């Protein structure tokens, strides 16, 4: 190969990478404090590790070939904390990052390589949607379908999306396929832009109202985390990846084991849970105290807040956490909470992370609204997911577990590897106060005043005795009633023993096949 040819290669590469869709556009973005896709990739990856794939791709259309370097998509491979990853994203300096034939081929090729090489795939979303007129005809739209490769991936590799700008069409589809989606404040995530809404239906809606961070973090649950800055989004992806293996065939990396001081009874941990069943407390604080320091990483924190889902570590072992949160709606399970639990179960089952369940649940939500929101279907779907889990689970009843929600929060009969209860916990068909009012209404109606209240209290006490965990422990439906101060020790010891278990191959993990959303 001649020196001239090599020099020409480097000069072509330099122009494409520095000028992108036009040097003035790049300069304007940076003046406005808006990173380009190349800036995002460089900030996400370890310094100097990025190797581009598809540098010289461009539009199929002859008229656009000279002005579409990369055809609106940039990607390649690099490392995050020393671990190989594939990364891609939309280049808004080229036709607003719109999706067309060659750009879509590039991202499909990057995903194919990631799957073959067994490494996570990260995507930065900021696209105006499908490119018109490239896709307007039957031939064009036939090349613009959602990726069947990603749709059939069965969570063989971790998939994460970061929404960094206005994201419509392709990158919003990608986020819905993803195991983890972060959205930066000021960005928009939707299927279709407000302009299309207005033309098609006459509806006028703003970008933030349509698909801003607050909409998805609180109302739709279509993101796992909303952040204020780009730097926070990169840090969130790095932390999320740190709990997971690079692919479903590997074991998740263990962190630093617990310090000797934490291998002790912890009275402060036990004191965090109020004895009175109706008194609220924040389960997130309990989880953070139970797990290894600074390892609690909550997912969908503002959505379905009566249930906590998170990743974390205990004695260095990566785990998922599903926990009731009595601080919100008394910790009941509603349709959104069921959806939240299922999403974490799918992630943990695919990548073989044990799940710790912390139960303090009064039941499923009741009422017309939740019934119309498909409470029945979502409750059974949660139970079905739980019964199909292949990854081990450890459960602790902290204070109460009533009704079907008791089973749905993972008991021994539902497959828990270890099922424990604190001694003061109450377990039964329903809250004794409610149960007495329902079951003995006629008897109580025959009495008046003090006599009625005395009989009601006697019945509550009688029913309450039957809710003792010792009743279930007596028939081996609870493995052990444990000292609350030893909760961390019991769970950590079990995780250590589980480290030697047989890990089923990916095809034997049923929830890896479940739909992502």
Residues 251-278 have pLDDT tens digits of: 999 999 999 989 999 999 999 999 888 8
403 vs 136, more confident: 403
Question: What are the pLDDT digits (tens) for 76-104?
Answer: 999 999 999 999 999 999 888 777 888 88
Distances in whole angstroms, Cα of residue 364 to Cα of each of 39, 248, 382, 402, 409? 46, 33, 12, 9, 11
Q: Quick one: what percent of the chain has pLDDT higher than 70?
A: 90
Mean of the pLDDT values across residues 143-165? Answer: 85
The answer to whether the bond into 267 is cis (omega within 30° of 0) is no
Asked whether the predicted pLDDT for residue 438 surpasses 80, the reply is no
User: From CA 60, how far away is CA 144, in angstroms rounded?
Assistant: 14
β-bridge partners, 356: 321, 394
Please report the beta strands in 315-405, taking only residues with DSSP state E, as ranges in sequence order. Answer: 317-324, 355-361, 393-402
Question: What are the pLDDT digits (tens) for 404-428?
Answer: 999 999 998 899 999 999 999 999 8
| Least confident range of 29-33, 200-204, 247-251, 405-409 | 200-204
Calculate the average pLDDT of the chain. 90
Domain boundaries, the chain: 26-242, 260-424+468-513
CATH topology of domain 260-424+468-513: 2-enoyl-CoA Hydratase; Chain A, domain 1 (3.90.226)
Whether 26-242 shares its CATH topology with 260-424+468-513 is answered: yes
Question: Does residue 122 contact residue 87 with C-beta atoms inside 8 Å?
Answer: yes
Distances in whole angstroms, Cα of residue 145 to Cα of each of 99, 148, 167, 170, 404? 10, 8, 17, 9, 41
pLDDT for the residue 70: 87
pLDDT for the residue 448: 67
Please give the model's pTM, rounded to 2 decimal places.
0.92
| Least confident range of 15-19, 199-203, 226-230 | 199-203
pLDDT for the residue 98: 79
Residue in 39, 106, 27, 111 with CA at minimum distance from that of residue 69? 106
Asked whether the predicted pLDDT for residue 250 surpasses 60, the reply is yes
Residue 484 makes CB contacts below 8 A (sequence gap 6+) with 269, 270, 273, 398, 422, 423
Pick one of 3.40.50.2300, 3.40.50.12780, 3.90.226.10, 3.40.30.10 as the CATH number of 26-242. 3.90.226.10
pLDDT for the residue 286: 98
Question: What are the pLDDT digits (tens) for 458-490?
Answer: 766 665 666 889 999 999 999 999 999 999 999
**Residues, the chain:** 517
User: From CA 376, how far away is CA 231, in angstroms rounded?
Assistant: 41
pLDDT for the residue 434: 61
- Number of neighbours of residue 484 by Cβ within 10 angstroms: 21
What are the backbone dihedrals phi and psi of residue 5, each rounded to the nearest 5 degrees, phi first? -65, -40
Token pair 């480097």 is found at 10
């Amino acid at each position: 190969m001649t020196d001239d040819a090599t020099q020409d290669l480097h000069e072509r590469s330099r122009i494409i990478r520095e000028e992108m869709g036009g040097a003035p556009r790049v300069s304007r973005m940076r003046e406005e404090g808006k990173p380009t896709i190349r800036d995002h990739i460089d900030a996400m990856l370890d310094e100097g590790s990025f190797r581009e794939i598809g540098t010289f791709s461009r539009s199929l259309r002859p008229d656009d070939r000279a002005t579409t370097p990369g055809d609106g998509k940039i990607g390649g491979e690099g490392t995050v904390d020393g671990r190989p990853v594939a990364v891609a994203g939309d280049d808004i300096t080229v036709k607003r990052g719109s999706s067309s034939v060659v750009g879509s081929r590039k991202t499909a090729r990057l995903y194919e390589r990631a799957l073959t090489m067994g490494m996570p795939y990260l995507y930065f979303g900021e696209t105006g949607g499908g490119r018109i007129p490239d896709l307007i005809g039957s031939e064009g739209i036939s090349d613009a379908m959602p990726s069947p490769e990603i749709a059939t991936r069965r969570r063989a590799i971790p998939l994460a999306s970061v929404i960094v700008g206005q994201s419509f069409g392709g990158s919003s589809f990608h986020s819905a396929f993803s195991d983890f989606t972060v959205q930066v404040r000021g960005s928009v995530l939707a299927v279709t832009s407000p302009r299309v809404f207005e033309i098609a239906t006459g509806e006028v809606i703003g970008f933030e109202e349509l698909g801003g961070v607050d909409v998805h973090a609180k109302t739709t649950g279509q993101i796992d985390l909303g952040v204020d800055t780009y730097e926070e989004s990169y840090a969130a992806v790095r932390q999320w990846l740190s709990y997971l293996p690079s692919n479903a065939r590997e074991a998740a990396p263990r962190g630093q084991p617990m310090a000797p001081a934490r291998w002790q009874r912890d009275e402060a941990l036990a004191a965090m849970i109020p004895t009175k069943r109706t008194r609220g407390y924040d389960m997130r604080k309990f989880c953070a105290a139970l797990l290894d320091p600074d390892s609690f990483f909550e997912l969908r924190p503002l959505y379905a807040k009566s249930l906590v889902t998170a990743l974390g570590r205990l004695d260095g072992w990566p785990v998922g956490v599903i926990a009731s949160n009595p601080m919100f709606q008394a910790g009941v399970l509603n349709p959104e909470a069921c959806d939240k639990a299922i999403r974490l179960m799918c992630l943990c089952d695919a990548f073989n992370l044990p799940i710790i369940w912390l139960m303090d649940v009064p039941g499923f939500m009741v009422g017309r609204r939740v019934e119309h929101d498909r409470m029945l279907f979502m409750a059974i779907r949660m139970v079905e997911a739980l019964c199909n889990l292949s990854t081990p689970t450890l459960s602790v009843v902290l204070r109460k577990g009533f009704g079907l929600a008791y089973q749905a929060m993972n008991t021994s009969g539902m497959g828990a590897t270890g099922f424990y209860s604190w001694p003061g916990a109450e377990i039964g068909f329903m809250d004794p106060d409610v149960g007495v009012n329902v079951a003995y209404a006629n008897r109580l109606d025959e009495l008046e005043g003090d006599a009625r209240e005395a009989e009601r209290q006697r019945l509550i006490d009688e029913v309450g005795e039957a809710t003792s965990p010792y009743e279930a422990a007596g028939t081996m439906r609870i493995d052990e009633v444990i000292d609350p101060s030893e909760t961390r020790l019991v769970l950590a010891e079990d995780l250590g023993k589980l480290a030697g278990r047989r890990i089923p191959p990916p095809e034997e993990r049923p929830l890896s096949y479940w739909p992502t959303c």
